[in-house]
Structure 1
Amino acid sequence: MRMKADGLKKTPGCSWMEVGNKIHTFIARDKAHPESHKIYQKLAQIIEKLENEGGYVAQTKLVLHNVREEEKVEMLHGHSERLAIAYGLLSTSDDTPIRITKNLRICEDCHAFCKLVSRLYQRELVVRDASRFHCFQDGFCSCADLW
């Protein structure tokens, strides 16, 4: 509440990726992309697969404390890099790495999410965040989880 009182706003998470010589932009929990309906459907499928086959559980301790648990999970699932990953899985061939640039540091939950996606979908994910490159392959990250 203090940030709001001081007139400050948190920078929204934003991710970019190139598909078919076109830059696609994703903002956390945004539905402005022309294919947002398909993207959110794919994201729901990914989450279900990660939960059922990979044991994924959202790390809600990382989200605002004054929000209901369901809202915390929804907030995490709407992070921009997840929208980009869903779009990448929809729009690229299975042998193509998914390359994403992000304006903020990747959160711990999204880092775990990316590791599972790389393992369960057998896809290489390269995420350039505000501090480094993360290359996810077969469930591991090049940063060795030390970011």
Structure 2
Amino acid sequence: MQKTSSAGIALIKQFEGERLTAYICPAGILTIGVGHTGADVKPGQKITVAESEALLRADLARFEKAVSAAVKVPLNQNQFDALVALAFNIGAGAFAGSTLVRLLNGKDYAGAAAQFERWNKGGGKVLPGLVARRAAEAALFRKPA
């Protein structure tokens, strides 16, 4: 199974940021560390940098597995990194059921790349941060290995 490269991790960190105290993200979800969400995140919770890194590694492993399971065509490292970054942000279920994955599995790489920009909403609203993130993910996806 492919693993996210340092460039892919840097992209995720660039857009997620790292916060050691739990907060409500723009989509209204309780979050901590580098975009970590879930039942284990509590209001007011504080973690260390080491704990944040451990959460990120566990989250990456989960989304790497999700991308590998959903995508049935060959991917270069940049494509894989871009897809992990997307899945990390939108969730494994939304990723697996997306038109992007359907197009990609049909070997329509260009059509799949054009789908990134459609995932630009949080809480039903277009968010400038997501517009920028999707543009960066799509650019990475299109970048030759």
TM-score (norm 2): 0.32
TM-score (norm 1): 0.31
Structure with more strand by fraction = 1
